[in-house]
Copies of this chain bind each other. A is one copy, B any other.
Amino acid sequence: MDAYTYIKKRILHGEFPPKMRLTEEYLAKQLQISRTPIREALKQLETEGLMFPMKRGVRVRHYTKEDIRQIYDVRTLLEGYAASQAALYRTRENLAEMKEANDRYEQTINHYFQTGETTVESILELNQTFHKSIVKASKNQHIMDLISKTVVLPLIFRSFYWFNEEQMRDSHEAHHTILHAIEVQDIERARAAMHEHIYHGRDQVLPHIETIAEDYSIPHQHPSK
């Protein structure tokens, strides 16, 4: 696994929490490589907005409640548009892909509630795959790129608050509505359904942000040298 993937994964999984300072030497030791490729990875993550630079070095970026609110506004705009375009341009292949992604998502959720197996991360990943399949159907590569860069950020927070059965049923219903609108090419309904779905997600995340921010308010040190 290259340095970029490694660091990003650990950030999204919360092992490198917001505000934590990441030193190059520490990461280099972890990965058994020199500082040079580490710097490359950090620069990329910084450009993507996952790290923020200090006078010297970088820290994992943290987000205020207002940040999350703004990001969700952007995401709603982009994904809502993508859904409307998907309703316009979707092919039979797109529909099949969307349905398959959604099926796998629901299967895993059922499996989770029945047995308690499977990780939260894997469910979030499958949810993302479903959303991506819709964006893909919009036939706009540039909006795809933008969304996949914008969407990762709130992921940091999701794993903290998630998962009760009620929320699961909601998302089940919402996905179904969106899929149907895209299938029958109801452009405005596709956009509206996606809007509602994402804003609903936002309203579940937002109340928890303060708490999370508190947990990590003290700049973290490196785990055991």
Contact = CB atoms under 8 A, between A and B. Distances in A.
A74 B39 contact: no
B143 A73 contact: yes
7 contacts: A40-B43, A44-B44, A70-B141, A70-B142, A73-B140, A73-B143, A74-B140
Nearest to A39: B40
A77 B71 CA distance: 15
B74 A143 contact: yes
B44 A142 contact: no
Contacts of A156: none
Contact of A71 (B44, B47, B142): B142
A70 B143 contact: yes
Nearest to A71: B142
Protomer copies: 2
B77 A81 contact: yes
A126 interface: no
Interface string A119-134: 0000000000000000
A146 B71 CA distance: 10
A67 interface: yes
B49 A47 contact: no
Interface string A53-81: 00000000000000100110110011001
A142 B47 contact: no
A215 interface: no
Nearest to A144: B70
Contacts of A81: 77
